[in-house]
Amino acid sequence: MRWGAGSVSGDGTRTAVLALLARRGPLSRAQIAEILGLSPATVTSSTRRLLAVGMLAEQEPRVPAAGRPSIPLRLVPRSAHAIGVQVALDHVATVLTRLDGVVVDGASWPFDPAAPEAVERLTELIRGRIAEAARQRRPLLGVGVAVPGVVEPETGTLRMSVRLGWNGMPLAARLRAALGVPVFVDNDISAVTVAERLYGPSAECADFLVVAIGQGIGAGLVLDGAPYRGAAGAAGEFGHLPILADGPECVCGNRGCLETQASTEALARQGREAGLIGPDAGVGELGALAVAGDERARELFADAGALLGRALAGVVNILGTSTVVVVGEITPLWDHVRAAFDAALAAHLLPCVRETRIEVRPWEERLIAVAAAGIALGAPLAAPRQRG
């Protein structure tokens, strides 16, 4: 498993070994080396330290009918934990996970990022979770924080978040100084993408794209086996692809972005403007109308699906990814989007990439918080740049 320069992990080999054992269970050093394409010496060196700190343990030797015995290595899930934090527009969600990514518990609280003491409030919430982990005697690797916006991978500085209204904020440094533990900050969809690369069904894919469609629209990229973040972490702003020359103003300040037409927020706005749903109603109410057979509601979903399919075809044509994973609040409503999306995608994909697999995942409320924990779990024993 290769990790590119944009990764928050400073030791890709140890990260890869731990993630592999979390997915597959006990393996010998030779098996690990073969699967990851590493030399036996590299695997031996990397696992020695993990054994020393108790993250790995040796099992009884396997004695084959012929040849030398092999000693399987297994993960010790309770040897280390991470706290994952999702900072959203109206709430903060947290989880505590074990080294294998299994969630121990979770909690959420209302949150106002525009409040004068918002960062202090966030700090106190995380401090409480750290104290609870200590009370339960759960060794803590660190805290991962996922935010909507452009995050500088080298520093964990939130360069721009139009949704939170936080710009140029050294969030990782502030939280680290206040909490006294390793803190890693990443874009929310990049975090989901890294978690997919570590623990998810696409872990063995060299190239894939994660597209998140909810209040906003974003994308995460894995290219040639490595998460790709682009210059200063700005890759993946799929929702700000310009599709209309003179469309509605977007939260980013531009006009005609994909997000203004095909996000769940845009669909709800269009439903309200058409008089289909009340002034305080959301996309769920619009979806209920579509289920009930309302043609205008169905047309809105179909129009969004066509735009998403056409826009995504352009991205796949450029990148040539073999798999696209769709997540987000739109997925419970995907039946209303699917036909138009599939038709538009098929109509605009190049013949050589028409076998691209589209996987629509069920929406999990804690997905981003769990992925945020993966930011910390993905950097065990390393010296990530964000710690400097």
Q: What is the pLDDT of residue 379?
A: 63
Q: What is the pLDDT of residue 279?
A: 92
CA angle 118, 124, 127 (to 5 degrees): 145
Q: What is the pLDDT of residue 11?
A: 57
Neighbours of 330 (CB within 10 A): 28
Q: Which domains does the chain have, with CATH numbers?
A: 12-78 (1.10.10.10), 79-194+367-387 (3.30.420.40), 205-360 (3.30.420.40)
Element at 57 (helix H, strand E): strand 56-58
Q: What is the pLDDT of residue 63?
A: 77
Q: What is the pLDDT of residue 2?
A: 46
Question: Residue holding tokens 């993250």?
Answer: 55
Q: Is the pTM of this model over 0.85?
A: yes
How would you classify the pairing of strands 103-110 and 91-98?
A: antiparallel
236 in the Ramachandran plot: left (φ > 0), alpha (ψ -120 to 50) or beta? left
Rounded-to-integer distance, Cα 129 and Cα 368, Å? 17
pLDDT in tens, 128-154: 999 999 999 999 999 999 999 999 888
Rounded-to-integer distance, Cα 335 and Cα 339, Å? 8
357-to-238, 325, 367 alpha-carbon distances in Å: 19, 8, 21
Q: What is the pLDDT of residue 386?
A: 56
What's 78's DSSP letter?
Answer: G
> Which residue(s) pair with 161 in the sheet?
166
pLDDT in tens, 290-331: 999 999 999 999 999 999 999 999 999 999 999 999 999 999
How would you classify the pairing of strands 217-223 and 140-147?
A: unpaired
Q: What is the pLDDT of residue 73?
A: 95
Q: What is the pLDDT of residue 233?
A: 78
Please report, to the nearest 10 degrees, the dihedral formed by the alpha carbons of residues 38, 44, 48, 51 taken in order: 80
The 357-360 sheet, strands edge to edge: 226-228, 217-223, 208-213, 323-327, 357-360
Q: How many residues does the chain have?
A: 388
Q: What is the pLDDT of residue 387?
A: 53
- Counting as low any pLDDT under 70, the low residues of the chain are 1-11, 67, 379-388
Contacts of 237 (CB under 8 A, 6+ apart): 150, 218, 219
